[in-house]
Structure 1
Amino acid sequence: MPRPRHCRYVSATPCVNYFKPRGIPLTELEEVCLSVEGLEALRLADMEGLTAIEAARRMRVSRHIFGRTLAAARRRVATALCCGQALRIEGGTYAVRTGEGAADIPKENTMQKIAISSEGPTLDDAVDPRFGRAGGFVVVELPDMTVSYIDNGASQTMSMGAGIETAERMARAGVEVVLSGFVGPKAFEALQAAGIKVCQNVDGGSVRQAVERFCKGELPFADAPNK
């Protein structure tokens, strides 16, 4: 069974929903369909010039979902322009924001994919206080709590650079937030470079408890590595 799609928030429904090449009858045209959230992604990125993180906050999705939505929208518009096809704007999985101010929600609530350093592969295993040399990471996708596991055993055997290697592993997995105990300077810098937020000093409980604390807003984002 396919996973449900996260709702994308848009500022308004489009006032114009059809564009066609001049001089070609409708009966002879092929159409390309652009979703409403695809149009919103184009508006935020290409008209307003927002960064991926800023635009993702507006649409209340992760930056990875925003990136995929934007890339798909650009392909459809390019296809219509290059192939002389009509462009219809309709459909998608979206809701209209009640006001532009409603878009300024806390960044924590837009995070969809978090990784928790763990001593085992389940939500009930204990949080591993180490980041670079953690045995693995339980990855939780919010809000549906889909759980997967990333084995980090290769980094445990490294004499140097374990934190950087682990940070790169998080980036490849599309992780947006890391919850852990101790994150050293080099690992912290690598996570920052990848656009991954860090919540530190998270230990002494289970992975499930750490996720619950994150969802309640009890775990602040760190602006520097552990001292």
Structure 2
Amino acid sequence: MPRPRLCRKVSATPKSTYFKPRGVPLGDLGETRLSVEGLEALKLSDLESLTTSEAAQRMGVSRHTFGRILAEARRAVADALVNAQALRIEGGEYAVAEQSRAPERQRTVSMNIVAVSAEGPMLTDTVDSRFGRAAGFVVVDLDTTDTRYIDNGQSQAMAHGAGIQTAERIADAGAGVLLTGIVGPKAFRALEAAGIKVGLNLEGLTVGEAVERYKSGRVPFADGPNK
């Protein structure tokens, strides 16, 4: 007896369920179907750049099952584009996941809490030029002068999406300011969405020197990525 198929978790129902070539009457079009879980797989893999393991965990399926869902979704989209078909998004075996992480998005960040990408946990350690794959971050509370260290080893091991994951980690720490060397476009957008101001090109300084430069007003905030 075959095992029952697991219901795949999706973050939300589709914003739009039908796409067609412009200027072609519906009666003249063939139609390709994309399942709702297929759309979710495309979002996680191709838009959010998650690894297969991460995306599979998010959807509550095995890596093999996720790979098959993704392959079918890509084939449906390719068919619609190459053969000028209409694309209908519907059906499948899915459930909208509870938005348990939603309250986390309401987190508060403070401009007096500064996170510095660092090669070690001390103020005397050098600023790590990388953001997403930095060894870790020294977080300094300017009001109390307390410091703590956030290890970033998990993001270092990621094949994709390290910058986005690291931005989440910085926001969770309550930091409103990031001091680092280089930040790419996706990571910068994630930091910006979290309300975190970014100071760039600080490699070569120690963590303490970078913090003192920020306190003296000599760190301009970036308006875009530098990678």
TM, length-normalised to structure 1: 0.51
SS at match of 1:112: strand
* Structure 1 match to 2:122: 122
Give the C-alpha shift of residue 196 in structure 1.
0.6
Map of 1:106 onto structure 2: none
- Counterpart residue type for residue 178 of structure 2: V
How far the C-alpha of 1:143 sits from its partner, in A, is 2.8
SS of residue paired to 2:137: strand
Report matched runs for 1:15-34 at 5 Å. Answer: none
Shift of 1:167: 0.3
CA distance in 1, matches of 2:143, 2:169: 23
Distance 1:175 1:146 in 2: 13
2:52 aligns with: none
Report the CA distance between 1:146 and its aligned residue: 0.8
CA apart distance, 1:185: 0.3
Whole-angstrom distance in 2 between the partners of 1:145 and 1:174: 15
Quote the Cα distance in structure 2 between the aligned partners of 1:205 and 1:112: 20
Q: CA deviation at 1:173?
A: 1.3
Partner residue in 2 for 1:195: 195
8 A contact 2:119–2:127 mirrored in 1: yes
Per-residue CA distance 1:3-35 (angstroms, 9 max, x = gap) = xxxxxxxxxxxxxxxxxxxxxxxxxxxxxxxxx
Distance, in Å, in 1 between the alignment partners of 2:170 and 2:212 is 21
State the one-letter code of the partner of 2:221.
F
* Contact 2:213/2:219, CA 8 A, preserved across alignment: yes
Moved over 4 A (4+): none
Partner deviation per Cα, 1:58-115 (whole Å, 9 max, x = no partner): xxxxx948xxxxxxxxxxxxxxxxxxxxxxxxxxxxxxxxxxxxxxxxxxxx721010
For the aligned residues, what is the CA RMSD? 1.5
8 Å contact from structure 2 (residues 111, 175) kept in 1: no
2: distance between equivalents of 1:162 and 1:209? Answer: 26
Question: What is the CA deviation profile of residues 162-206 of structure 1, one whole-angstrom value per residue up to 9, with x for unaligned ones?
Answer: 000000111111111000000000000000000111001111010
How far apart, in 2, do the equivalents of 1:193 and 1:111 lie? 15
Matched, 1:133 2:136: no
Q: Secondary structure at the match of 1:189?
A: helix
Letter in 1 for 2:218: E
Equivalent position of 2:111 in the other structure: 111
Map residues 28-177 of structure 1 onto 2, 5 A cutoff: 64=108, 111-177=111-177
Write out per-residue CA displacement over residues 114-157 of structure 1, whole angstroms, 9 at most, x where no aligned residue.
10000000101110000000000000001331100111000001
Does the CA contact (< 8 Å) of 2:181 and 2:203 recur in 1? yes
In structure 2, C-alpha distance between the alignment counterparts of 1:114 and 1:183, rounded to whole Å: 16
**Number of residue pairs the alignment of both structures matches:** 121
**d(CA) in 2 for partners of 1:116 and 1:217?**
16
What is the identity, as a one-letter code, of the residue corresponding to 1:191? L
Secondary structure at the residue paired with 2:221? coil
What amino acid is the match of 1:147?
T
Q: Which 5+ residue runs of structure 1 have no aligned equivalent?
A: 1-62, 66-109
Do the aligned partners of 2:135 and 2:156 also contact (CA within 8 Å) in 1? yes
Give the structure with higher Rg (CA): 2
Secondary structure at the aligned position of 1:111 is classed as strand
